[in-house]
């Protein structure tokens, strides 16, 4: 690193000192904390993003958001060259940067890292970092810190893409690095045109929705997603979208609204009630990378019937499986190879959903908790489908499978409305699906459109969708601990290997119910051990969870709550 570069870093870093006594860690969600603590961290992540651009010779993204956290929080994370999350290999460096106690320590870390990674900082590559933020009041000041971090690398350019959903920024990074147009309008046009294509391919014999069922009502969490969905909705036909709790409506971000609140509490968000009985309802989270559907039952008293990420995954898997069955008919095998499909879940997926997916004949894989693990596993398949129960997930298509679909559809003209076999239509549907779904990251807007068009394709109401299977009763608890690393797990976090004897005790309690399932795992963000239990009745699930929480306390000597 030359003298000019070192002087620039020292000079700019001297304006951003980390808060004393605060240690931050980069995880699936990036860095998150009270916004007042983050200016130095966001500045340093700007440096990291510029170095990542140099390393990958690609455009990189930096998003300022705290997703479903309270409005006074904020956060920052990287969109990597693929459009996905920051390479796990770089996470320790991110932690070290954020916690370096002085500009001199920061410069030493950077010098050591660029030498180790073989990164040239001599200006032989045009570094560009795309910046986005959500609607939080603290976002603009943190964006300025990010810009200064990026431009502290000589020749680096920070491009402000404005207020965006998190998935929009990830999509833009992926598109830019594929040589595609990558403005917000390009995002809207790709989603809307793919949606129209799938609508045009709905079989004529399938029932279309009418009356109230043409409508979906969306809880925007008082965040950015509601505004963007209104803009997207202007390009759609055949779907009426009513948005409530948009950031323009004056409500508090994520306060009594949003996917995280609805999924965890299983209650109506603000501004929803008995008037919504019979209508498909959806909640987005604060930065619109999650969605869950819900039903307002008659005389609900505030309670809802939740249609969560497991059900969304099952709907997507069912549709994809149907299209592949058409595609794989003998007469339609030309130019298409047999797709290897994988469904990826975590141990928190309800056991009933896993059983349903296996009954469909699908290959189900499990990973540790965290979207970065699910996404990585999904890349191993021609079609990888993953969703967490919280509503975060997507569908990935391999390049080779996309190429085979394109070869199959090259001679088909959808505009003429003259289509060939079911296999040809299926190839068109899958190709449109690959463009509608956001393959960079979970995206509530693209996910919503895909759910809606599949329900139209099936001729299903939300109630029929919800009847695919019935969730097993479950219960989650947490046990406070002094050191969460005392619990060590394996097998996608479902089996305890330390402390010795704890897993055997858990097995003994679990065996008392014919549908019992239970696991414990250390939290990734706080000093607690989390307990998840399923059983044949809610009472049995509660009892199992409580018993296992006591076991954790007995083995580790901590207090449960």
Q: Cα 348 vs. chain centroid, distance in angstroms? A: 15
- Sheet with 528-534, edge to edge strand ranges: 474-480, 528-534, 517-522
- Which residues, 6 or more positions from 216, have their beta carbon under 8 angstroms from its beta carbon? 239, 240, 241, 242, 279, 280, 281, 282, 448, 452
Q: Binding site annotation covers 285?
A: yes
Residue 307: which of 293, 297, 319, 296 has the closest Cα? 293
**How far, in Å, CA of 80 to CA of 90, rounded?**
11
- Which residues, 6 or more positions from 29, have their beta carbon under 8 angstroms from its beta carbon? 66, 67, 75, 77
CA torsion through residues 395, 400, 404, 406, sign = positive
**How far, in Å, CA of 311 to CA of 315, rounded?**
6
Q: Binding site annotation covers 254?
A: no
User: Are 74 and 66 in contact, with CB atoms under 8 Å apart?
Assistant: yes
What is the dihedral angle through the alpha carbons of 508, 512, 517, 523, rounded to the nearest 10 degrees?
A: -50
β-bridge partners, 283: 219, 292
User: Are 489 and 522 in contact, with CB atoms under 8 Å apart?
Assistant: yes
- Per-residue H/E/C for 173-210: HHHHHCCCCCCHHHHHHHHHHHHHHHHHCCCCCCCCCC
Q: Binding site annotation covers 390?
A: yes
Q: Binding site annotation covers 13?
A: no
Classified as helix, coil or strand, 148 is helix
Residue 38: which of 85, 124, 98, 109 has the closest Cα? 98
Q: Binding site annotation covers 388?
A: yes
Q: Binding site annotation covers 440?
A: no
Q: Binding site annotation covers 186?
A: no
> Checking phi first, is residue 211 left (phi over 0); if not, alpha (psi -120 to 50) or beta?
left
Burial of 298 (0-12, 13-18, 19+ CB in 10 A): exposed
**How far, in Å, CA of 38 to CA of 43, rounded?**
8
153: tokens are: 């690398």
**How far, in Å, CA of 451 to CA of 394, rounded?**
12
From 40, 58, 67, 194, the catalytic residue: 67
67 is known as an active-site residue: yes
**How far, in Å, CA of 291 to CA of 297, rounded?**
19
Q: Binding site annotation covers 56?
A: no
Q: Binding site annotation covers 120?
A: no
C-alpha to C-alpha distances, 504 to 268, 324, 483, 510, nearest whole angstrom: 40, 42, 22, 10
R_g (Cα) of the chain, nearest Å: 24
Q: Binding site annotation covers 389?
A: yes
**How far, in Å, CA of 174 to CA of 172, rounded?**
5
Q: Binding site annotation covers 301?
A: no
Residue 458: which of 191, 197, 198, 196 has the closest Cα? 198
Extract the annotated binding site for substrate. 388-390, 521-525, 530
Positions marked active-site: 67
Extract the annotated binding site for Mg(2+). 67, 285, 287, 289
Extract the annotated binding site. 67, 285, 287, 289, 388-390, 521-525, 530
């Amino acid at each position: 690193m030359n003298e000019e570069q070192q002087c620039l870093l020292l000079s700019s870093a001297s304006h951003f000192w980390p808060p004393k006594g605060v240690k931050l860690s980069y995880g699936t969600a990036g860095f998150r904390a009270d916004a007042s603590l983050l200016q130095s961290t966001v500045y340093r992540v700007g440096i990291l993003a510029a170095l990542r651009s140099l390393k990958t010779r690609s455009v990189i993204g930096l998003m300022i958001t705290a997703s479903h956290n309270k409005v006074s929080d904020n956060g920052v994370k990287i969109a990597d060259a693929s459009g996905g999350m920051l390479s796990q290999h770089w996470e320790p460096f991110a932690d070290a940067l954020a916690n370096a106690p002085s500009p001199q320590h920061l410069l030493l870390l950077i010098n050591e890292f660029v030498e180790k990674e073989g990164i040239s900082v001599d200006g032989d590559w045009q570094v560009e970092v795309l910046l986005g933020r959500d609607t939080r009041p603290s976002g603009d000041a943190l964006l300025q810190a990010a810009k200064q971090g990026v431009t502290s690398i000589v020749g680096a350019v920070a491009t402000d893409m404005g207020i965006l959903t998190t998935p929009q920024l990830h999509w833009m990074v992926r598109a830019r690095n594929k040589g595609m147009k990558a403005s917000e309008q390009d995002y809207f046009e790709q989603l809307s045109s793919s949606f129209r294509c799938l609508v045009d391919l709905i079989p004529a014999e399938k029932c279309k929705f009418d009356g109230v069922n043409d409508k979906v009502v969306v809880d925007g969490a008082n965040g950015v997603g509601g505004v963007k969905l209104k803009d997207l909705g202007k390009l759609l036909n055949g779907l009426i979208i009513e948005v409530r709790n948009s950031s323009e409506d004056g409500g508090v971000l994520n306060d009594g609204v949003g996917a995280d609140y609805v999924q965890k509490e299983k209650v109506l968000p603000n501004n929803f009630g008995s008037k919504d009985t019979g209508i498909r309802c959806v909640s987005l989270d604060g930065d619109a990378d999650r969605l869950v559907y819900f039903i307002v039952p008659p005389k609900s008293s505030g309670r809802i019937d939740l249609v969560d990420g497991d059900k969304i995954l099952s709907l997507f898997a069912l549709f994809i499986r149907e299209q592949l069955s058409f595609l794989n008919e003998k007469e339609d095998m030309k130019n298409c190879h047999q797709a290897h499909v994988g469904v990826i879940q975590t141990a928190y997926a309800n056991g009933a959903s896993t059983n349903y997916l296996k009954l469909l004949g699908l290959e189900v894989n499990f990973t540790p908790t965290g979207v970065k693990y699910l996404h990585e596993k999904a890349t191993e398949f021609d079609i990888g489908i993953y969703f967490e129960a919280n509503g975060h997930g997507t569908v990935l298509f391999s390049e080779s499978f996309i190429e085979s679909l394109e070869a199959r559809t090259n001679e088909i003209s959808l505009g003429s409305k003259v289509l060939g076999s079911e296999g040809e239509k299926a190839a068109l549907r899958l190709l449109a699906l690959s463009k509608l779904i956001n393959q960079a990251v979970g995206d509530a807007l693209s996910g919503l459109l895909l759910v809606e068009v599949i329900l139209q394709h099936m001729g299903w109401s939300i109630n029929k969708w919800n009847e695919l299977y019935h969730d097993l009763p479950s219960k989650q608890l947490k046990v406070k601990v002094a050191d969460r690393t005392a619990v060590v797990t394996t097998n996608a976090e479902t089996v305890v290997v330390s402390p010795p004897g704890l897993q055997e005790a858990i097995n003994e309690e679990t065996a008392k119910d014919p549908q019992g399932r239970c696991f414990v795992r250390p939290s990734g963000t706080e000093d607690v051990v989390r307990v998840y239990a399923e059983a044949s009745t809610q009472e049995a699930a509660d009892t199992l969870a409580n018993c296992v929480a006591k076991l954790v306390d007995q083995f580790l000597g901590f207090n449960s709550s």
